[in-house]
Amino acid sequence: MSDAKLIIDGREIELPVVVGSEGEVGIDIGALRGATGMITLDPGYGNTGSCQSSVTFIDGEKGILRYRGYPIEQVASKATFPEVAYLLIYGHLPNRKELERWLGSLTRHTLIHEDMKKFFEGYLPSTHPMAILSSMVASLSTYYPDPDPATDPNINIVRLIAKAATVAAFSYKKSIGQPIIYPRNDLTYTRNFLHMMFAVPTEAYEVPDVLNEALNMLLILHADHEQNCSTSTVRMVGSSQANIFASISAGINALWGPLHGGANQKVIEMLEMIQADGGNYEKYVDLAKDKESGFRLMGFGHRVYKNYDPRARLIKRVADDVFEQLGVDDPLLDIARNLEEIALEDDYFVERKLYPNVDFYSGIIYRAMGIPTNMFTVMFALGRLPGWIAHWKEMRDDPTSRINRPRQIYTGPTERDYTPVNQRD
């Protein structure tokens, strides 16, 4: 493809065009400021490619999501979460030996330093587990300094994935006042996590298969989503060469917001509100269409998907399995189904291409699994961890990457003189 031509003030400059492996086209404006003194302005970054990446491909118009080339439908139904984590981070599916080594090291590193347990004592029982998770992940850097790249460059990646699950489960136990349950090395990653969440020292606990399978798929569906808000945050922080724990902790905080990972919690709160208000979902669809109301249907719409979110389709199937096998009868599920049905036919939603996103059903499944609402975003974070790490690693391994430092168009006051306080109005 030929270069792009930009004409500014009668002057023409040529800007190279970059084409990705799926035919995505970008104009490389790296020379723009040097040649013209101008920058581009793109608040919200809807038109800006921040990097070139080989981790995940999304075609929002067609509803396509692929991890390292593999369709989400295949990985979600055939792989295990640790296998997907390996794929995202190292770029290929592990062979048998690599997988054994990977699973072995993820298992061996699940314990957290005993001293770290004291941190949990400092939090109020009502502390949001996302605050605990981000603080604990940042604190891991105090125990595990950057490894020697020559001997064991990836050890902190393993530690992070293994210990984050333990921290997440401990934060839940703290919030309900139960004793923490130590990890068990004879269990798989997902079974071990569910065990730490739901076992108590006084009783035997067997992880139900349906919970294990649902969790495996939910974590895979959340594992990466290219340059979303939290991943971009991880890359931004990591671009200063901050360590992996500090960078991922920043991503966890970015995920917390209701417009991002916090949406699954907001979906449940919205459904509960509709239920408490007599289940009149039509009223809330109307409210969402009324700009003055400031109300949005949580779990609908996506910056990138302007077609059905492929993850939402898969997750809906999991929801059906979990509800059927656990025999759960949750009125919120009916409200959700009705909302979806009505919104998919309503002109407002159709015109704006607002479809249910992955968060619309994930919260309802977590609820059926017995995971409390304030843990939903933590579950999302556990799933997203490999994606964040993959992007952090991709950036750190790229010798051409630079510290991320956007520019701005300044709109504040022009130069003025300082006035002493007794001369101010």
Ligand X SMILES: CC(C)(COP(=O)(O)OP(=O)(O)OC[C@H]1O[C@@H](n2cnc3c(N)ncnc32)[C@H](O)[C@@H]1OP(=O)(O)O)[C@@H](O)C(=O)NCCC(=O)NCCS
Residue closer to ligand X by CB (options 25, 259) is 259
Of these residues, 302, 309, 330, 398, which one is catalytic? 302
Q: How far is the CB of 295 from ligand X (least distance, A)?
A: 8
* Residue 371: strand, helix, or coil: coil
Q: Which of 362, 350, 331, 349 is nearest to 267 (CA)?
A: 362
> Which single residue brings its beta carbon nearest to ligand X?
301
Q: How far is the CB of 356 from ligand X (least distance, A)?
A: 9
CA 238/CA 232 separation, integer angstroms: 10
Residue closer to ligand X by CB (options 212, 264) is 264
CA 236/CA 238 separation, integer angstroms: 5
Residue closer to ligand X by CB (options 113, 303) is 303
Residue closer to ligand X by CB (options 196, 267) is 267
Dihedral pair phi/psi, residue 65, rounded to 5°: -135, 125
DSSP secondary structure of 134-184: HHHHHHHHHHSPPPPTTT-TTHHHHHHHHHHHHHHHHHHHHHHTPPP----
Q: How many CA atoms lie within 13 A of 70 on its CB side?
A: 20
Torsion angle of the four alpha carbons 244, 83, 192, 100, in this order, in degrees rounded to the nearest 10: -100
Give yes or no for a contact between 16 and 3, defined as CB atoms under 8 angstroms apart: yes
Residues that bind ligand X (CB under 6 A): 259, 263, 288, 296-303, 352, 354, 357, 359
Residue closer to ligand X by CB (options 8, 350) is 350
Of these residues, 128, 222, 309, 359, which one is catalytic? 359
To the query of whether residue 359 is one of the catalytic residues in this protein, the response is yes
Where helices occur in 259-345 by DSSP H, the ranges are 263-276, 281-289, 310-326, 331-345
Using the structure block, give the residue that is written with the tokens 């079974």: 191
* Residue 30: strand, helix, or coil: coil
Sign of the alpha-carbon dihedral angle for 368, 371, 376, 380: negative
Q: How far is the CB of 353 from ligand X (least distance, A)?
A: 8
* Residue 75: strand, helix, or coil: helix
Residue closer to ligand X by CB (options 196, 378) is 378
What lies within 8 Å, CB to CB, of 346 at 6+ separation is 285, 289
According to DSSP, the β-strands at 64-67 and 70-71 are: antiparallel
Q: How far is the CB of 222 from ligand X (least distance, A)?
A: 10
Q: How far is the CB of 228 from ligand X (least distance, A)?
A: 8
Tokens of 83: 């296998």
Residue closer to ligand X by CB (options 194, 318) is 318
Q: How far is the CB of 180 from ligand X (least distance, A)?
A: 31
Q: How far is the CB of 79 from ligand X (least distance, A)?
A: 22
Catalytic site positions: 302, 359
